[in-house]
Amino acid sequence: MGLFIRGFVFVVLMGVVFVFDFVLRPSSAVVLSNFTGSIAMSIVLRVLSRVDEDLAKSLHDSRVPKPVSVTPLVYGNRVLWGGRFVVEAGGEVRFRVSALEGIGLRLLDSLDGLGGVRLFNVDASLMASSVEVVRVDELFSPGPTKFVIEFLSPIRFARRRTMRRRRVKYDFCPSMENIARSTINYWVRVFGDGYFRDWPRFLRWVYNYVYTSDIYGRVVSTRLPNSEEPQLGFIGRARYEIKSKRESRITQLWALLRLAELMNTGTTRSLGFGHIRVRGLG
């Protein structure tokens, strides 16, 4: 383990994403309902608090883009973002955690003697089935000019205020302009603008040359724990086509898409909204 950690010191300074796949198995049947990403985040913070209680608290309280994200819980092949589901005793419930740099290292430390957690009023075993480390610079490679994005949990984009208003206003359209703007804003906040010094020009390129060629889905409603207000978002899939041969821009776009796959995208991404899967079409 010492060599493993020392081997990553240089990599961490360059920027990495730690990707953990966790498996939960409840000891008896348990009912899960509505948006389960908040359950996954609660489990992650409890696990982190075992090795660094202050870090777990600061992540919970933070109002800036968090360096960690989760997916909703997955049971069978269902992403549990809405409705009501009964998980049988011993049933396999999965979720992914993606954490940047130091957060990932602390979460790695917490895996020793992981044991179990409480899932509502039910004891559940918890184990990390895999851990992957992705270097940020490895995200930069060309991809196909035609691709499909599956929106596995609701996605939404907060609109910037131009007048005084109290409530957040959302856009539910999964246009590439929305996806690219949201993801590049997150990238610059957590990694800096080293790879995207000309990001306004990049977004202008996306606006002009990346087309939505097909879209299928709907706007759905879910709820977060302890909230009666419905949370809306788009679920479905969309096909996109790049009408440009500028390889440097295509490479930048694919870097953003790969980060969005790892960390989610859109508003409330840390809790599991905007969980996507990207598939190239050749």
Domains along the chain?
Answer: 2-135 (2.40.30.310), 140-280 (3.30.70.1900)
Over residues 26-50, mean pLDDT: 94
Question: In the prediction, which pLDDT does 5 show?
Answer: 34
Name the token pair of 223. Answer: 């709820």
Q: How far apart are the first and last CA of the chain?
A: 40
Is the distance from CB of 152 to CB of 277 less than 8 angstroms? yes
Over residues 243-247, mean pLDDT: 96
For residue 14, what pLDDT band results from cuts at 50, 70 and 90?
low
CB atoms within 10 A of CB 1: 8
Average pLDDT score over the chain: 90
Question: In the prediction, which pLDDT does 27 show?
Answer: 95
For residue 151, what pLDDT band results from cuts at 50, 70 and 90?
very high
pTM for the predicted model, two decimal places:
0.91
Question: In the prediction, which pLDDT does 16 show?
Answer: 92
Res. 7: pLDDT tops 70: no
